[in-house]
Amino acid sequence: MTTKILDFIDGQWTDAKAADLLDVVNPAEGASIAQVVMTPSTVVAQAVEAGHTAFQEWRATPVTDRIQYMFKLKMLLEEHLDDIAKTITNECGKTYKESVGELRRGIENVEVSCGMPSLIQGYNNEDIARGIDEHMFRQPLGVVAAITPFNFPGMIPLWFLPYAVATGNCFILKPSEKVPMTTAKLFELIEQAGFPKGVIQLVNGGKETVDALLDHPLVRAISFVGSTPVAKYIYSRATANGKRAQCQGGAKNPVIIMPDADMDTATRIMADSAFGCAGQRCLAASVAITVGEAKNTFTEQIADAATSRKVGYGLDEDVQMGPVITKESKTRIEGIIANGQQQGINVLVDGRSKTVGGYDDGYWVFPTVLDGVPPESDIATTEIFGPVLSLMHANTIDDAIALVNARSFGNMACIFTSSGSAARKFRNEADAGNVGINIGVAAPMAFFPFSGWNDSFFGDLHAQSRHGVEFYTQTKVVVERWPKEWSRQF
Ligand code: NAD
């Protein structure tokens, strides 16, 4: 019998019976492994109302008690790490090692939220005028919601949930409909951790489900991670409805390879960055810009690394890269490569039309390297979201930085060099919010904000860390006077 992925509303696993069902597909097999409910707006409204009711008690629960649930959740996540990681691989396609890695980064956020008694503290001054004191407190907002993408089903919900809940809000998650099984496992653990009903809820679905959250007056804040067009749409609709919004979008991440870089290290790290998770990472290196004589060595070495990468089903031994998420994705990526080739771009390593033995129906695109990509071409500016690395060549670091900054995105930019002054110049001038120096995936730890810029982020406060605490709380400033003569003297 087909597994059906349900919603978790007001402490109950709920079958939104009126809803359509969508197949969940294992991308290595190209076969359905479950079905997920597409929650209609009427059921979303029930979840929001349950969250609103639960909020009254949850916000009054001391923060020291609220974090006890987070400690339990952390332990449960550790205990079930293997099972959840296998689920991620099965519905999302990445390798088992990558799945474990993303879960670790998610758990980190649960750990950070356990410090909420300190993180949520306000500040105060005695005697701002004679006999008058002033305090700032942080209070939760109410019902808040997050909408998350397919590529990190175990990690990205945890960029938001722990901060929202530990600060005293009630949280609703709408995960990607392509990968709902991981979230269902996470919610089984949330149920076991014993959070009060209505504090954390799950509504599955697509656009109708999202729009119901964006339009419901009791939803106070929206967190989003996904592609830039959807991020823009969600940011404008949520803010037009008077909500706070933080919307992380797509990316096109450039990396400079200086001639003084340790070329073996740079190549190894770049291959992991560009082809890891089949290039479906918002922090994947997608453009490598060589400077001067780095051109020949790096081009040769990265082509070798791309050719030798072992592609296959992520639970099989030694596999280094899995499939892309859907058949449409494979067709789209192969089409982009074909267009580039027609425009005269050199397809140095061609990952099209490949299959993996035993997985003939999988959505395979092998590592691909495109050389001599013109900076103004579609390939140089469009997010491909597949294992495709474009090479550009510059003569000086200034020219290379100009190429880095000539983009609409600003999620990540990196440099490989052994020169401190080149690194320092790059750190200062790169127009991106997450910067890597001799790093290929500059993913901020949970205690730093995930700092996308430009078309990679719409909003003010980012995910994770103190930014998360500020996003999910409103400040209340109290000015108070207690003259002696008003009080009974003892
Ligand atoms: P997506 O934008 O297609 O979907 C993201 C979420 O939005 C899903 O939950 C989906 O159901 C919902 N959605 C999709 N279309 C919608 C619409 N028209 N109206 C309302 N909701 C809609 O993204 P995806 O394909 O799941 O994920 C890949 C994208 O996410 C890439 O662009 C990647 O760069 C980006 N991403 C960004 C970050 C970051 O931190 N900036 C992190 C991970 C992924």
Map out the domains of the chain as residue ranges. 3-249+456-478, 253-437
Asked if residues 394 and 400 have their Cβ atoms less than 8 Å apart, the reply is yes
User: What's the pLDDT score for residue 24?
Assistant: 98
* Cα 260–Cα 264–Cα 265 angle in degrees, nearest 5: 85
Atom 21 (ligand 1) nearest CA: 207
Provide the whole-model pTM: 0.97
| Paired tokens of 248 | 């992380």
> Ligand 1: residues within 6 Å at CB?
147-152, 174, 176-177, 206-207, 210, 225-227, 230, 233, 248-251, 282, 383, 385, 411, 450, 452, 456
pLDDT in tens, 321-354: 999 999 999 999 999 999 999 999 999 999 999 9
pLDDT in tens, 92-148: 999 999 999 999 999 999 999 999 999 999 999 999 999 999 999 999 999 999 999
For residue 1, what pLDDT is reported?
Answer: 73
Can you tell me which atom of ligand 1 is nearest the CA of 174? 9
Which residue's alpha carbon is nearest to atom 34 within ligand 1? 250
Tokens 């003010």 found at: 460
Least confident among 397-406, 409-418, 477-486: 477-486
Which ligand 1 atom sits nearest the alpha carbon of residue 450?
Answer: 40
Which residue CA neighbors atom 39 of ligand 1 most closely? 248
Strands 170-174 vs 20-26: parallel, antiparallel or unpaired: unpaired
Separation of 448 CA from ligand 1 center, angstroms?
A: 22
Distance 486 CA to ligand 1 centre (A): 59
CA–centroid distance, 452 to ligand 1, in Å, is 15
Contacts 24+ apart (CB under 8 A), 189-193: 189/73, 189/76, 189/77, 189/80, 190/8, 190/73, 191/8, 191/11, 192/72, 192/76, 193/69, 193/72, 193/73, 193/76
* pLDDT at residue 2, rounded to an integer: 85
CB 231 within 8 A of CB 383: no
The predicted-structure confidence for 21-47, as pLDDT tens digits, reads as follows: 999 999 999 999 999 999 999 999 999
Mean pLDDT (the chain) is 97
Q: Cα-Cα-Cα-Cα dihedral of 327, 332, 334, 335, to 10°? A: 140
Average pLDDT for residues 377-383, to the nearest whole number? Answer: 94
Instruction: Out of 183, 207, 230, give the residue to mutate to test ligand 1, the one with the largest number of ligand atoms within 8 Å of its CB.
Output: 230
Residue 364: the pLDDT is: 98
Q: Which of 170, 247, 277, 282 is catalytic?
A: 282
Active site residue 282: yes
| Annotation: CATH topology of 3-249+456-478 | Aldehyde Dehydrogenase; Chain A, domain 1 (3.40.605)
- Residue owning the nearest CA to atom 40 of ligand 1: 248
Structure tokens at 186: 């996470």
Of 282, 330, 454, 464, the residue with max ligand 1 atoms within 8 A of its CB, to mutate for a pocket test, comes to 282
Give Cβ neighbours of residue 324 (< 8 Å, ≥ 6 apart): 27, 93, 278, 279, 280, 330, 333, 363, 364, 365, 386, 387
Q: Give the ligand 1 atom nearest the CA of 250.
A: 34
Which tokens is 193 given? 């951790």
Q: What is the mean pLDDT of residues 73-78?
A: 98
Residue 19, pLDDT > 70, answer: no
pLDDT value at position 18?
Answer: 63
Q: How confident is the model at residue 484 (pLDDT cuts 50, 70, 90)?
A: confident
CATH code of the region 253-437? 3.40.309.10
Task: Give distance in angstroms: CA of 128 to centre of ligand 1.
Answer: 47
CA of 194 from ligand 1 middle (Å) equals 30
Using the predicted structure, report yes or no on whether residue 251 has a pLDDT greater than 90: yes
Half-sphere exposure of 436 (CA within 13 A, CB side): 29
| Closest-lying ligand 1 atom to the alpha carbon of residue 383 | 32
| Alpha helix positions (H), 241-286 | 263-275
Residue 17 pLDDT: 73
Q: How far apart are CA 165 and CA 144, in angstroms?
A: 9
